[in-house]
Structures are given as C-alpha cells and as structure tokens.
Amino acid sequence: MEILKLAVGGWFARAMAVAARLEIADILDGKSMTAAELAERTGTHPEVLHRLLQMLTVPGVLERVGDEFRLTEAYAPLRADHPFTQRHFAILAAELYDDAMAGMMHTVRTGRSGFKELYGMSLYEYLDAHPDTAELFDKGMVDLAGPIAACLLAEHDFTDVTTIVDVGGGSGGLLPGIMAAHPRIGGVVADRADVCERGPGILARVADPAVLDRITYAPTDFFDEVPAGADRYVLKNVLHDWTYDNCVRILRSVAAAMAKSPDGARLLVVEPLVETDLDGWRAMFQAVACDEGTLGLDETRLREALAEGGFTVESMARLPTGHKLLVSALRTA
C-alpha cells in the first residue's frame, strides 16, 4: 500500500489542480454541496465530478457529509480570496512542474537540465513562449510571497526604510504586505521586461490600490545591473535557482547598486536552503528545471557566495516558512 500511495501521488496533485481551476474551493466557501450542485456551478459532468470529489477526500482536501462535500480547513488556501492563497502555485506545481519532472532520468544520468531535454528550451524561455503559463507562474510566485512578507515584518525592522528593491521579484507579491505596514516605503520590482509588463495587472487583484500606487517596475537583467540607491534590497527565492557562479554574478550586481545607496542600506536574502534529506525534493526540482548545474545551496555555500559577491553577513534567522533570512551589508575595504 505504501508503494501504491506514492506511485499514484501525482494523480491526487492533478485532481487538486483540476478542482482549483474549477474554483471549487471558492464555490464551497465554508458550505457543503452535492456533486450535482457543484457540477451545475462549474459546467462539468455530474457523475465524473462526483468521482473527482470522492478522490479528493482521500488526501483530505474535501470531506464528505452525507451526499455533500465541503472543503477542509487545511486546504482553505485553495480559495483565491484566502489571505495566504496557494491556489495558483498548486496548479503550477501539479501541471508544468510535474510535467517537467518527466525529465528527471535525463538529469540523474547526465547532470543536465531535464526541462531543456523535454522542451528544447529553458524554463524562462518556455514561459516567454507560453504567455498563459507565464501568467500562471507569476501568480504562483505571488502566492508564495505573501506568507514570507508576513514573516519578514515580524523579523526585520523596516521603520526607517524608504525604498525597497525586490530583485527578481516577479509581479512584486512580497511588497504589498510590507508596504501596507509602512506607509512611507516605496517599492521597486526589478525583473524581466515581460514580467514587469504583466506585474501591475496581476498585483492589482490582490493588493490595495493605495499600496500599488507606491510600486514601480524596472525591467532588469540582474546579471548586469539592478536599480541603484535603495536602502533595502531583497533577493527572495532567487539564488537557489542558479548555479553558484551565477549567484555570485547576481550578488555583484546588487553590490554595485548598493554602493550608491545611503548609509545603512542592507540586502535581505531569503532562501529555502538545502540542508537535510527533507530538502532533497526541492534540490532535485532545481536540478531538473532551473539553471543547468544547479543543486541548491546550504548556508555555508550561500555565505561564501555573499562574501565573493561583496557582502558581509550581519545576522541569520530561520523563518516559520522554512526559509533562512540572511541580512547583509556591503563589505568595507
């Protein structure tokens, strides 16, 4: 049975993604409904939807009460209106990311990108060529950013900060939570041009308009240059997607920008590091789908990259999300 559960585990992830695309969690919204009622609301086949709902009771996404189904509390973040929604990331992980893992054997045999073997291009090239998937990816990254923003507010003092540059920040999902708590802060999202073009529309669905007015987008190649002069720079879930050498390149770009910043400027690196066997699943995904040759970073290696990039680590904290926060200053001569 243990082998069977693991072997068919991907089926349940796909079932959850189908339910998320059908917005079943949003429709239920604390209520119980029959399969027939949900089928009418979602425009689906009643008998087959009933089987999907039954299937989702196995991992505990739904629970059954008589002939009705309801969403369990643990899966409330599948609702789009949940303050820490994971709806879009759940779809992204169960669809594109799971498809990419079909290239795992190629990566294990060769050490090269399984994603590139399957699709003939890198992940970011694929996103450039598939706008609908790129939009889903951007929304998924916003999903992941919300809980981290709440953790950063509890861990780091933003009282005297005036400008944050979120380097590789996607649509800017990290910024609204921080900026809502600190009305003086302005935010800059530095990412690829196409991401910056989509960003305002995606963020408008989840952020207060008053906060959005304080966020700007700067099309950026972070290997070359990032916006200069801010007093906080953030690299969240960025470095672990790249090889060590490319991490150093990114950090040197940030260091060059911070050299033009006021005294007291700091870099906040937020990373899910690979330090135990439990982190191996993430490292395998990075090896398959991210920068070719990427195997993840542990804290020692991250500190080495920061030093080589021109930084001194001042403090380290573990966040409730499992990430580590390393606060760094420019290294003085």
The label of the residue with tokens 């001042």 reads: 314
Percent residues over pLDDT 90 in the chain:
94
Predicted confidence band at 142 (pLDDT cuts at 50, 70, 90)?
very high
Q: Are strands 311-318 and 163-167 parallel, antiparallel or unpaired?
A: unpaired
What is residue 207's predicted lDDT score, i.e. its pLDDT? 84
The per-residue b/e assignment along 24-39, b for 16 or more CB within 10 angstroms, e otherwise, is bbbbbeeebbebebbb
Which amino acid does the sequence have at 19?
A: A
pLDDT, tens digit (0-9, with 9 covering 90-100), for 277-308: 999 999 999 999 999 999 889 999 999 999 99
The label of the residue with tokens 């002069």 reads: 229
pLDDT, tens digit (0-9, with 9 covering 90-100), for 240-256: 999 999 999 999 999 99
What is residue 208's predicted lDDT score, i.e. its pLDDT? 87
pTM of the complete model: 0.92
Per DSSP, the residues of 213-252 read TTEEEEE--TTT------SEEEEES-GGGS-HHHHHHHHH
What is residue 218's predicted lDDT score, i.e. its pLDDT? 97
DSSP 48: H
Phi and psi angles of residue 186, each rounded to the nearest 5 degrees, phi first: -105, 150
pLDDT, tens digit (0-9, with 9 covering 90-100), for 207-241: 888 899 999 999 999 999 999 999 999 999 999 99
Q: Distance (Å, rounded) from C-alpha 46 to C-alpha 230?
A: 55
Q: Yes or no: say if 279 and 244 are a contact pair by the CB < 8 Å rule.
A: no
Nearest to 330 by CA among 236, 244, 254: 254
E-strand spans in 30-173?
33-34, 62-65, 68-71, 163-167
Active-site residue, selected from the candidate residues 50, 156, 240, 323: 240
What is residue 280's predicted lDDT score, i.e. its pLDDT? 93
Tell me how far CA of residue 265 lies from CA of 86, 90, 169, 218, 257, in angstroms. Answer: 32, 35, 18, 19, 10
What is residue 258's predicted lDDT score, i.e. its pLDDT? 97
Cα angle 152, 175, 204; round to 5:
140
- What is the pLDDT of the chain when averaged over all its residues? 95
Cα angle 144, 145, 148; round to 5:
105
pLDDT at 76 over 70: yes
- Give catalytic status of residue 130 as yes or no: no
Output the six-digit token pair for 330. 């420019």
pLDDT at 173 over 90: yes
pLDDT at 333 over 70: no
pLDDT, tens digit (0-9, with 9 covering 90-100), for 95-121: 999 999 999 999 999 999 999 999 999
Q: Distance (Å, rounded) from C-alpha 232 to C-alpha 253?
A: 14
pLDDT at 28 over 80: yes
Nearest to 272 by CA among 303, 298, 295, 304: 298
Sort residue 268 into left (φ over 0), alpha (ψ -120 to 50) or beta: beta
Which H or E run includes 72? none
Question: Can you list the domains of the chain with their CATH numbers?
Answer: 2-78 (1.10.10.10), 87-330 (3.40.50.150)
Q: Distance (Å, rounded) from C-alpha 218 to C-alpha 97?
A: 27
Sort residue 60 into left (φ over 0), alpha (ψ -120 to 50) or beta: left
DSSP 322: S
Q: Yes or no: say if 93 and 13 are a contact pair by the CB < 8 Å rule.
A: yes
Tell me how far CA of residue 97 lies from CA of 123, 224, 275, 285, in angstroms. Answer: 10, 28, 22, 8
